[in-house]
């Protein structure tokens, strides 16, 4: 057989409408998720309140694809104020149940609730913890019958063409576990400041922690007085390298700003530069920010007002320096 014939033999024999297949998958999973709504009832509320009242950890377990959903739930819970630990069902029945204490609750995620590992695990776990929770598709399955609390996703049609590969069922598990996590956040009054405390690293940490004080301090703080002549104003803007200079009164308080754009516009309007002072071309009431404000807030202000820099002042209006948009870009905030 020639190489060309071999390549042709490897091509699929049927032509598929891949766009329609993708749409059918999405619609099937949407149906699975919307079906959960009927199971958000008193049993769901009681489960959330029981977890919230638990003094220990929520141990979350599963097998196969459900174990991956369990890991994601644990990550979400720990980052939003609920103490949680992942325990793989296979590892649990081979010695790792030692991590469970009487103060803990255990949540086992399983679509069928009938797998061999789950049937071994559930009765043993129930004796070790404060309460056993099932997140399952069928209220009559073995796991649900063993559990003190049951969270239901309901029966789902898998998006897999053979109704075999976990697709819709794991999507439903993910959505229901997210609903559980958010409800626990609300019960614990979890605040943005708490979120920031638990996320100090990376870009997210910067957005939640980085303050104006951390950025402007590295910049020059160009300034002139109202009667400063134009030549000195231009020199101060150039020296400061932030594209502007603050205009101050005798008490070191900001009364205006001159940007390099203000200078260019002035040069377009006049041929004579004699006698021009800072007060003649400055913009009054410039946009200011205090050092204690978050860098993310500075970014929002710069976007809202479409400016390139903000003047940093103390709480009583004393001039401190400049925060430039480049400072935010450099830190990955903007």
Worst-scoring range by mean pLDDT, 148-152, 197-201, 309-313?
197-201
The string of pLDDT tens digits covering residues 275-325 is 899 999 999 989 999 999 999 899 999 999 999 999 999 999 899 999 999
Main-chain dihedrals φ then ψ at residue 296, nearest 5 degrees: -65, -35
Q: Report how far apart, in Å, the C-alpha atoms of 8 and of each of 13, 14, 201 are.
A: 10, 13, 51
171 sits in which H/E element = helix 168-187
Assess whether pLDDT exceeds 60 at residue 218.
yes
CATH architecture of 15-190: 3-Layer(aba) Sandwich (3.40)
What gap in Å lies between CA 200 and CA 39, rounded to an integer?
37
Vertex 258 angle, CA 254 and 260, to 5°: 150
* Domain range annotation of the chain: 15-190, 212-330
Which parts are annotated binding residues for Zn(2+)?
Answer: 88
The overall pTM is greater than 0.85: no
Q: What angle do CA 44, 50, 54 make, to 5 degrees?
A: 150
Sheet hosting strand 309-313, strand order edge to edge: 288-289, 309-313, 319-324
Phi and psi at 312, nearest 5°, equal: -95, 125
What's the pLDDT at 12? 54
What is the third-level CATH fold of 212-330?
CBS-domain (3.10.580)
pLDDT in tens, 63-112: 999 999 999 999 999 989 999 999 999 999 998 999 999 999 999 999 99
Supply φ then ψ for residue 188, to 5 degrees.
Answer: -90, 0
* Residue 331, pLDDT score: 86
How many residues are given for the chain?
A: 334
Question: Residue 181 contacts by C-beta under 8 Å, 6 or more apart in sequence?
Answer: 73, 76, 77, 80, 82
Binding site: which residues?
88
Q: Above 80 in pLDDT, residue 1?
A: no
Contact 288, 237 (CB under 8 A): no
Condensed to tens digits (0 to 9), the pLDDT of residues 262-274 reads: 999 988 888 778 8
Query: Phi, psi (5° rounding) for residue 137?
Result: -95, -15
Domain 15-190 shares a fold with domain 212-330: no
- Name the pLDDT band for 326 (thresholds 50, 70, 90): very high
Can you give the pLDDT at residue 82? 94
Q: What is the pLDDT of residue 11?
A: 56
CA–centroid distance for 322 within its chain: 29
């Amino acid at each position: 057989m020639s190489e060309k014939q071999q390549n042709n033999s490897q091509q699929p024999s049927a032509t598929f409408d891949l766009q329609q297949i993708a749409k059918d998958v999405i619609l099937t999973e949407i149906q699975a998720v919307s079906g959960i709504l009927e199971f958000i009832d008193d049993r769901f509320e009681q489960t959330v309140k029981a977890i919230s009242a638990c003094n220990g950890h929520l141990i979350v377990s599963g097998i196969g694809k459900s174990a991956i959903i369990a890991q994601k739930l644990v990550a979400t819970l720990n980052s939003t104020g609920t103490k949680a630990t992942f325990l793989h069902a296979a590892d649990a029945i081979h010695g790792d149940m030692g991590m469970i204490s009487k103060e803990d609750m255990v949540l086992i995620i399983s679509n069928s609730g009938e797998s061999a590992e789950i049937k071994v695990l559930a009765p043993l776990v129930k004796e070790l913890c404060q309460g056993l929770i099932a997140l399952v598709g069928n209220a009559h399955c073995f796991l649900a019958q063993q559990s003190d609390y049951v969270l239901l996703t309901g029966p789902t049609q898998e998006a897999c063409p053979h109704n075999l590969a976990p697709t819709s069922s794991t999507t439903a598990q993910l959505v229901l576990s997210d609903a559980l996590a958010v409800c626990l956040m609300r019960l614990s009054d979890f605040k943005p400041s708490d979120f920031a405390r638990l996320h100090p690293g990376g870009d997210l940490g910067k957005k939640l922690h980085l303050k104006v004080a951390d950025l402007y301090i590295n910049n020059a703080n160009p300034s002139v007085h109202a009667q400063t002549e134009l030549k000195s104003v231009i020199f101060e803007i150039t020296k400061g390298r932030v594209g502007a200079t603050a205009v101050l009164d005798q008490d070191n308080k900001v009364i205006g700003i001159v940007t390099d754009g203000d200078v260019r516009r002035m040069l377009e309007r006049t041929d004579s530069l004699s006698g021009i002072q800072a007060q003649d071309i400055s913009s009054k009431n410039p946009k200011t920010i205090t050092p204690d404000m978050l860098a993310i807030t500075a970014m929002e202000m710069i976007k809202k007002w479409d400016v390139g820099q903000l003047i940093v002042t103390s709480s009583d209006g004393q001039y401190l320096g400049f925060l430039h948009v480049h400072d935010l870009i450099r830190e990955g905030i903007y």
